[in-house]
Amino acid sequence: MSGYMGKILRVDLSTGSLVDEPLNEDYARSFVGGSGLAARYLYDLAELDSDPLDPHAPMIFMTGPMVGTPMASAGRYSIGALSPLTGIWGESNGGGFFGPELKFAGYDGIVITGRAEKPAWLSIVSGEPQIHDASDIWGLGSYATQARIREKLRDPKARVACIGPAGEHMVRMAAVMNDHGRAAARTGMGALMGSKNLKAVAVRGRAKVPVADPDGFKQVLRDINAFLKEDMASQSLRMAGTASYVDLALLYGDMPIRYYKQGEWDGGNRLSGVLMVEGYQNRIAACYRCPIACGRETRAPGYGLEKVDGPEYETLGSLGSLLMIDDMEAVIYAGHLCNLYGMDTISVGVTIGLAMEMFEGGIISAADTGGLEIRYGDAEIVHKLIGLIARREGFGAVLAEGSASLAERFGVPEMAVTVNRLEVPMHDPRAFAGMAVSYALSPRGACHMEGDMYGVDMGQVPASEIGIIPGDRFDTSKEKGRIAARHQAWRNLYNALTICQFMNPGVPLILRAVNAVTNWGLEAEDLLVLGKRLMTLKRMINLRRGVTRENDRLPEILMKPLTGGTEGHVPDVEALLRGAYEEYGWDPETGIPTEETLSALGLDFLQ
């Protein structure tokens, strides 16, 4: 099985059992890896009507065939499970070095079930798994946890994925952190890990990932690296990280301001990537074998910090412009607090934004918040709330349940800017209409990693061979919906190959690389079929979790026109969705994949 280690580790934390299992070759061939393969295993192993935090619920760490090879920007891993935040299919992926190291340790993935009697951590060193007592590290922040485990293993190169206090307290927006500040952040995977009493997973090894055609692979890698060297998007990511997008985002109206309700704001310019580089950057940082190197190490001397990870664009939006905070250093510090406690900066920022909007609108008062005045522009209150959320203290315990829960609790569900209970990221579908499909149909709820149509319409994702054609960003037609669906399928495949979405050398080069590693002999159109199969499998899991056609929608606040870069545009969600259902082969009335579609995609077992 070229590209794979051929082995999965099954861990039952309730019994302490550790069992090696051969990787299911048919599953790998059909569902590839990462979130796709995790979804296939989950379908077999999970009680689909159970509580995501049920001890028997599986939590699946998974890599893909490109991970651990010399492929550019393929240093990622996925976690798949039922989400404690949304209640539906959840997936999250993180960069850094953990994914490749898991393969070097001898495994493609880890399936974890059960709940340890007392805090535990898992190590896999060169094919030898072991469960350890984590009582002495329970309560530590994510950075200290990673450092302590490396000390315990006496190996500074061990890679550690762990939770901080937020995961331990089962905060529904808790992340799994690895390689310092890298995060598998979305959908509350940290809460799931906390519910299993599992503090960390550490991996280390020296195994080699088999590649079917090493010479062909070398050649295509040369071509990919040459492309990335010249590529404008890669160059700006290298220069200023994902923060390089702030200026453009403000221009397009893509960066949400004041809880998605304001179209323009001068303060946004003070969050620009150029200012971040000039004023706060220490150095650039890269994931495993990534020539783009979008990672940043920055500093926040005003908060006594000489070394801080980030901030990413998403953090500058969610903890900056969304909350009307234009103090770069305060945003860097807020992002750092989220990393330390182990939380998703998007969900945390959006939930605090909702609290601000409710407070300023008189829906909640200091009597509800434990005396806190939660107002826009107040960085100090944001820093305080982050700690309260992570520890579930005071009003933080209410926010720890997420935006949808907060809005429902105070009788204003329409104020939650969520899709399927996942907070909307920092890309506004009023700026790029195709994002309406990405959000409304994303299997994990509002997600920019399953259809970055802003990238397509800015010409940064060359994939015309499979019908992903850049066009008018305000086009809200059925045909645009079809393009957005194809792109969503393409990104689902990226998440299954477990390669970074900032690496976009085009379909022919990706195809050559995949074939060189796996020897699958795929054609370009096969890639789209694979992506649609993954989307449809996750869709079926969600339908069994109670999702209906009614869930395919955008939040009310995003359907109101704004001035500024969005020029008053609002997407016609129904028209876009009609195109998307058609492209996927899902019934336009019910949103359910048809029998013909399931058969054509090799998903008969779902009928």
* Binding region for ligand SF4 (CB under 6 A): 73, 75, 95, 237, 286-287, 290, 292-295, 500, 502
Query: 180 or 533, CB closer to ligand SF4?
Result: 180
Residue closer to ligand SF4 (CB basis): 168 or 314:
314
- Smallest CA-to-CA distance from 358 within 403, 298, 302, 423 is with 403
Q: Measured from the CB of residue 502, what is the shortest distance to ligand SF4 in angstroms?
A: 4
**Minimum distance, C-beta of residue 295 to ligand SF4, in the bound complex (Å):** 5
Helix, strand, or coil (residue 201): strand
- Asked if 277 and 299 count as a contact pair (C-beta separation under 8 A), the reply is no
Quick one: 41 or 313, whose CB is closer to ligand SF4?
Answer: 313
When the beta carbons of 57 and 74 are compared against ligand SF4, the nearer one is: 74
Per-residue H/E/C for 15-75? CCEEEEEECCHHHHHHHCCHHHHHHHHHHHHCCCCCCCCCCCCCEEEECCCCCCCCCCCCC
The helix/strand/coil state of 502 is coil
Q: Indicate the residue among 46 and 221 with the shorter CB distance to ligand SF4.
A: 221
CB of 390 to ligand SF4, least distance (A): 24
Helices 379-391 and 345-360 pack at an angle, to 10 degrees, of 120
Question: What is the nearest approach in angstroms of ligand SF4 to the Cβ of residue 589?
Answer: 39
Q: By C-beta, is 113 or 234 nearer to ligand SF4?
A: 234
Distance CA 315, CA 338 (A): 10
Give the nearer residue to ligand SF4 in terms of CB position, either 296 or 336: 296
Query: Would you put residue 447 in left (φ > 0), alpha (ψ -120 to 50) or beta?
Result: beta
CB of 495 to ligand SF4, least distance (A): 13
Q: Is 496 exposed, middle or buried (0-12, 13-18, 19+ CB in 10 A)?
A: buried
Least Å distance, CB 451 to ligand SF4, is 17
Distance in Å, CB of 241 to ligand SF4, minimum? 8
Contact assessment for residue 106 and residue 21, using Cβ atoms and an 8 Å cutoff: no
Residue 215 exposed, middle or buried by CB count within 10 Å (0-12, 13-18, 19+): exposed
CB of 294 to ligand SF4, least distance (A): 3
Q: Cβ 343 to ligand SF4, closest distance in Å?
A: 19
Measure the CA–CA gap between 597 and 607, rounded to whole angstroms. 10
Of 314 and 401, CB closest to ligand SF4? 314
- Residue 286 or residue 592: which is nearer to ligand SF4 going by CB? 286
Contact by Cβ (8 Å): 318, 417: no
**Residue matched to tokens 């704001």:** 265
Q: Sign of the C-alpha dihedral, residues 289, 293, 294, 297?
A: positive
On the question of a cis peptide bond just before residue 311, with omega within 30 degrees of 0, the verdict is: yes
Cβ at position 477, least distance to ligand SF4 in Å: 32
CA distances for 168 relative to 164, 280, 309, angstroms: 7, 31, 22
Nearer to ligand SF4, 87 or 310 (CB): 310
